[in-house]
Amino acid sequence: MIHTNKEYWDQVATEWQTTRAYDLWRRHSDGVNRQLLDRWLAGPPVERLLKTDMFDEAIAEGVLPFLESKARHVVGIDISPEVLQMAKRHYPRMDSMKADIRSLPFGDGHFDSAVSLSTLDHFDTQSDILTALDELRRVLRPAGRLVLTMDNLRNPAIWVRNALPFRWLNTIGLVPYYVGQTCSPRRLCRYLQQTGFEVLQSQAIVHCPRALAVAAARCLQGRAGGPTQARFLYLLQSFERLGNLPTRFFTGYFVAVNAVKRGRTG
Q: How far apart are CA 219 and CA 24, in angstroms?
A: 10
For residue 34, count CB atoms less than 10 angstroms from its CB and return exposed for 0-12, middle for 13-18, buried for 19 or more.
middle
Q: Write down the pLDDT at residue 169.
A: 67
- Of 243, 246, 215, nearest to 21 (Cα)? 215
* C-beta separation of 151 from 145 below 8 A: no
pLDDT of residue 23: 86
pLDDT of residue 265: 41
**Structural domains for the chain:** 2-261 (3.40.50.150)
Stretches where the chain sits below pLDDT 70 are 1-5, 19, 21, 169-170, 172-174, 176, 264-266
Of 220, 253, 254, which is closest to residue 234 (Cα–Cα)? 220
Predicted TM-score of the model (pTM): 0.90
Distance CA 75, CA 96 (A): 5
- H-helix or E-strand spanning residue 155: none
Strand pairing report for 95-98 and 71-78: parallel
pLDDT for 65 equals: 93
210-231 burial, b for 16+ CB within 10 Å, e for fewer?
beebbebbbebbeebeeeebee
**Residue 170: other Cβ atoms inside 10 A:** 14
Tell me what pLDDT residue 2 has: 44
Instruction: Give the model's pLDDT for residue 266.
Output: 37
pLDDT for residue 157: 87
CB atoms inside a 10 Å sphere around CB 27: 18
